[in-house]
Every structure is written in structure tokens, then in C-alpha cells.
Structure 1
């Protein structure tokens, strides 16, 4: 039977095909790095140079059994990248590389765990004064909004339905299960801070209220400010837009705020275009889903450093699930006073 001729198969043929896919018959494997650059990028959505960089980065952490049909580090990395970038059925990824679906699943889980473990090397806030001033300069060049070192927002990553106790707490306001992921990005769209431990029903403001980054700002670790939408409280270190701007200075502040804060929307769009699994949903267990999100953030930052482009015609459009923002009404007095002084100083 020609296993590639599926259109004319009946159900019996499909059963035979499934048995073939799950058999232990050795399958042909090719080295993906023997492909030319265009073919490699078409299959894996990244350039060879990027793939080799990731392989070199984690090679020492990949156990490679030379016996039997074990996957080489090269195949392990490209299988994971293809599966996340294309959001491909694991069976199809396995067939392409001559392995079973279970091997692809284990490989993706292992690569995600390794990359998540080294996330602090690639996901970090600017700490030195020079780094913070450089971040402020780049943000100010967008819409003349001064003293900004990062933009914050949350995005919902869909997961499979949780049937255990507490599963309903993962259902967000749009009615599907998700992890509410908090991200802070810089003006280059790199992810500087990420929190993935919260369920979809949790409000953005609570995630920030209980995160370590808030504690660092309150301890004076940073000289700059964050920008957030109206779902966050306005504080002396996190500025939100004015809900009812009255004066010309307030309107200028809001216009500049919107254009600058749009950076986080572009970050989400680029991140999810690179890794379609974030756009369409993760269907492993919760812990693996969290590690995969962080792993994709690490890869996203490395891709920006290496100036990896999207395919021609793809745009950095944020395809969020249009979950409405619940405005944070009771803003702290100190935050409102600080914002008022800021507007009078820089926008009057």
C-alpha cells in the first residue's frame, strides 16, 4: 500500500496506515542541515544559523544515546522548533523525521524544560544605570514619552480543558481555559520579564500585585517607569492612561502613552507569529505548557538578537482573543499625584 495515497483510502486502509505509523519499523532519517537555506527555513520557519545556535546552546544538556535509533541533538532541537513554530500535529512531525509521536512529545517536553531552566540568562530587566538609560532612550524615540524602561501587559495562552478540581478557575472571561501570562518587554520587542503561573480567571492587576517585579520596583531597583493599560493601578512606578483627559497636556500624555504602550502588542504579535503554538493553544499538561511558554520566550529573544525575520507577508499583528480590559477604578492616591506631576513636567 502506498502510505502517501490517503484520498482514496477506506477506513480499513486508515487502520493499516495508523498501524504503520505506530510500528517499530526503522524509518528513514535525514539530516535537516543538509537542506539548503530556503528549504530549511520553509520546514522550520527559522534559518539554519538560528538552529545551530540553539543546538550549541543546549547540547551539553541533551543526553544522546548512540545505541539504536536515538535522536541526535540536532534532530531533537529541530523537531521541537518545528512543532512549536508550525503548531504541527506531533504525528506529522514524527513522520517527517522518522520517529513516533511519543518520541516527539518527550523531546518537546525535554527541550522546553532545558530552555526554561536557563531563562534567567535571556529574560532579564535592565539592571545597570547605563542599561536603563539606553532603554529609556529607545522608548522615548517612539513617541517622546520619557523615563520608560518597560511596557507591561498580560496575554491569554489557551490550554486544554482541565477536568480536575479547580479546572474551572482556568476559564477566562471569553469562556476558554487559559494561562494568563504577564510579560514586560523593551522597545526592541524583547521579553524582559515573564510570569506564567496564573490561571486564566485571574485579573492582570492581581498578577502584578503578587509578582516579584513589583517588589523590585518598590525597593527602588529601577530608576525608570513601567507603562500599563487601565487594567493596572496607577502607581509611582507604573503609569496608566487617563480615563477622562481634560486638558491638552493630558491628551498629549494619553496619545504618547498609547503609541508607546503599543510596543507590548507588537511584542505579543511577533512572539505568537514565530511560535504558532502560543497562537492556537497548548495541549500538554499544565507544567509542560508553562515551560513551553517560557522556552518560546527565550527563543524569541535569541531570534531578535540574531535579527531573525518573519516570512515575507507576515506582520507583527497581535491577535489577542479580544478579552476586554476591566479598568482598575480605585487607583492609589500617591500614583495619581505622581502621574499629575509627571504630566505637568513633561507634557504641559
Structure 2
């Protein structure tokens, strides 16, 4: 640049060079950046104004001022930064991309992959959104709430590892681990009353249904199921080991004849007896205090008066006045045998509930690697989803059994 150019401004070819450099920076910044149509239009207008000031710059001072304005715009978010390439590995998001399609086959695909319709999924997303919204930062856009919820549901349904599940949804493993915790917390907050002891009309329906089975004032059936896990890390493995040489966690559940879960208590190691699990549960404390069984007193044979009870198997103590177990034994009279048969049929609802629960959410059907800290909450969440889907009247696919 000569002295004349310095005093009178940049030559035309120099202005063009600066403009091209600025355009290259802007285009590179905006590449691959998704945004809503309204925000994109606003940003395009701001970009056009900035570029126009560069293209029409009369001298060095104006050109420098335009470049400074562009830098300020970049740092203030007018042109959001791209995620640095080394922050996140590029993934395809295969299953998630298929779930995002909106055509006639999508609803069936949702039922196959997430065990629910698109309508039900959208309802859950809307309920959980307030508890999962992330702050939009200057570095990268947060993942959509629906993608995180779909990922968690998919893992419970498929039983796949974190590595496989995150690849199917185009997210990293660390992001998947945190998303899992966020979804669990959001679902428990969004549906606090999905699992609750029956009251009012619901209680009357349950009592009437069990009365028709021959058990007046019966509130439900109780049993324990095993959640099989890999050898736990960071905990005494012998506490989770059983005589079948498997590691598992105990889950105590109460259900009614509609397979609705009324109470759940989960978390004790497999070596703990079911009776001890019962005695340490909130259910036991509430029952002993007279809080749960408050139906109208019913006179039963042998001068027995009851205000409510649960049906259980022979593993529960006879001394517990609010759990009715079968007589058992080999040499039974006709009356005892008839009672045991009817009790087993009525109590079968809890076994059917376990079968439906584990076949829908197959992570709990087989041995899997898990975090013992979040496992109880995970099981409570799938029990919550179990009740939510029952409330919607969704048909259960018997082929899953």
C-alpha cells in the first residue's frame, strides 16, 4: 500500500479482499448451525447489514470498525459458535432419526421400540419438559428433551448397554449417563402419584373385585421379584449372591387384580430374606399403624374379623395378621385344598404383573450391568410407566411373554 492509499483509504481490490475474508468467517461460523426460522431470519439480516458496511467501507477506519462490529457480534451470540470438533464425536443417531419420522409407520415403530404410542410419548415429554430444560449456553445447544426421554425408554425396553444405546441415539456415553439420571428424576417428579395406595372409588373397585374371587376386604397381593445384575462393583458382592449363583436385588411389590402396582419397595441385596425386606419397608410400618387397612369390618369363618389384608405365598409369616398365606402341606383336607387353590388363583395377579413388567422393560428381565445407586429409582420409574400405560388402556402385546 502506498502513501496515497494510506491517506485516502483502501484500494478497491483491498476492500474486496477484506470483504471476502469477513464473508468466509461468517459462512464458516454459520455452517451446519440449526435454528428456528425466526431466529435465522434475524441473524441473516444482521449478517447482511454487517457485510454491507464492509463492502461499502470508504476508508481504513470504516473497514476496521466493521470488522470490530463483526467480532463483537460473534462474541455476543449473533453468530453462535459451532461445537468444537474435539468436544463431541460425530454420530449418526440411527434409531432416533427413525423415531423422528412422521408417517403411518411411525406409531407402530414407537410401540416396538418404546412400548407406547406417539401420543403417549408426547404426553410424557410434555409432563417432564419443565424438569429437564437446560440453559442454552454460548458453546452448544442442549439435546432435545424428547431425545433424552426416548433414549432412556429405549434402554429400559431393549436392555442394551449404554454404548449401544447412545450410538443408536447419536449421543455420547457420558451424555447418556447424565441423561439417564435426568429422565429418572423428571419422571418421578412429573408423576408422583402414579404409584399410591388405593382410596375412594378405586379402593371400592378393588375390594369388590377380590370379593368376587372369594376374598372380602382384600386389598391386593404381595410378592418379591429378583432383579438380576452383574457382579456389583464397589459393594460386598457376597451380599447379592444367592444359592443359584446369581447376583440380584430384591423388589417387593403389591398389585391389584387389574395388575396395577399399589406399592413398591426395592433395593435390598439378594441375600436378604423376603420377610426382612417386608419388615424394613414403609408398607409394614403403615400397615402396623393401622393406616392402610381401614375397610368396614368383615366377619370371616372361625370368628375372624378383618378390616383388610393382602394375599401372599408361604414365604410370609403366619403371625402377620394382614397377610393371608395358603395352608400348604401334603395331607390337606378338602376345605384347605379348596382354599389354597382359590388363594393361588387370586394371588396370581402379582405373578402376571411381574411377567408383564419385565417383558415390556426387558432390562430387568435378564442380568445386566447397573449402577446400584440408581437401580431402585429405575425400577420405581418402570413401575410408574407400567401404571401410566394401564391408565391409558393400552393393549399389552402377548407375544412379548
**TM-score band, normalised by shorter chain:** 0.7 to 0.9
SS in 2 for 1:124: coil
Q: Which residue of 2 aligns with 1:295?
A: 381
- Cα deviation digits, residues 1-49 of structure 1 (max 9, x gap): xxxxxxxxxxxxxxxxxxx9x9623656748343421222233232112
Provide the rounded CA distance (Å) in 1 between the counterparts of 2:246 and 2:327: 31
- Over 3 Å counting, the alpha-carbon distance change for 1:144 and 1:113 in structure 2 is same
Query: Does the Cα contact within 8 Å between 1:33 and 1:48 map onto a contact in 2?
Result: no
> In the aligned structure 2, how far is the partner of 1:247 from the partner of 1:161?
46
Question: In structure 2, what is the Cα distance between the partners aligned to 1:195 and 1:289?
Answer: 12
Tell me the SS of whatever aligns to 1:268: helix
Instruction: State the Cα deviation string for residues 193-237 of structure 1 (Å, max 9, x = none).
Output: 111121111111111122221222222221321010000012221
TM-score, normalization by structure 1:
0.77
- Which residue matches 1:86? 158
1:119, CA displacement in angstroms? 5.9
**Which residue matches 2:365?**
279
Shift of 1:80: 0.7
Are positions 1:242 and 2:327 aligned together? yes
242, 248, 254: which one aligns with 1:184 = 254
Change (3 A) 1:264 1:92: same
Distance apart, 1:282 and its partner CA: 4.1
* CA pair 284-126 structure 1, distance change in 2 beyond 3 A: same
Tell me the distance in 1 between the aligned counterparts of 2:208 and 2:286: 22
Matched residue SS, 1:287: coil
How many Å apart are 1:179 and its aligned residue? Answer: 0.9
- Which runs of structure 2 are paired with 1:244-283 in the superposition (5 Å)? 244=329, 246-283=332-369
Aligned to 2:60: none
Q: TM-score, normalised by structure 2?
A: 0.68
C-alpha distance 151-133 of structure 1, shift in aligned 2 (>3 A)? same
Q: Distance in 2 between matches of 1:49 and 1:198?
A: 36
Paired position in structure 2 for 1:320: none
Distance 1:135 1:40 in 2: 32
- Which residue in the other structure is 1:101 paired with? 173
How far is the alpha carbon of 1:104 from its aligned partner? 1.9
Aligned equivalent of 1:167, options 210, 234, 237: 237
Moved more, 244-253 or 218-227: 244-253
Out of 101, 124, 147, which is 1:34 matched to? 101
Change (3 A) 1:138 1:179: same
Task: Report how far residue 263 of structure 1 moved.
Answer: 0.5
What is the RMSD of the two structures over their aligned residues, measured on CA atoms? 2.3
CA deviation vs aligned residue, 1:244-263 (integer Å, no higher than 9, x gap): 36332222211110001110
Larger radius of gyration: 2
Larger RCO, structures 1/2 (Cα 8 Å, 6+ apart): 1
Q: Is the 8 A contact 1:147 1:225 kept in 2?
A: yes
Structure 1 pair 26–218 and aligned structure 2 pair: CA distance change class (3 A): closer
Write the distance in 2 (CA, Å) between the matches of 1:126 and 1:292: 23
Q: Which structure 1 residue ranges, 5 or more long, are not aligned?
A: 1-19, 316-348
Equivalent residue for 1:345?
none
Q: Is the 8 A contact 2:255 2:261 kept in 1?
A: yes
> For the Cα contact (< 8 Å) 1:170–1:178, is it kept in 2?
yes
Q: Which residue is equivalent to 2:288?
A: 218
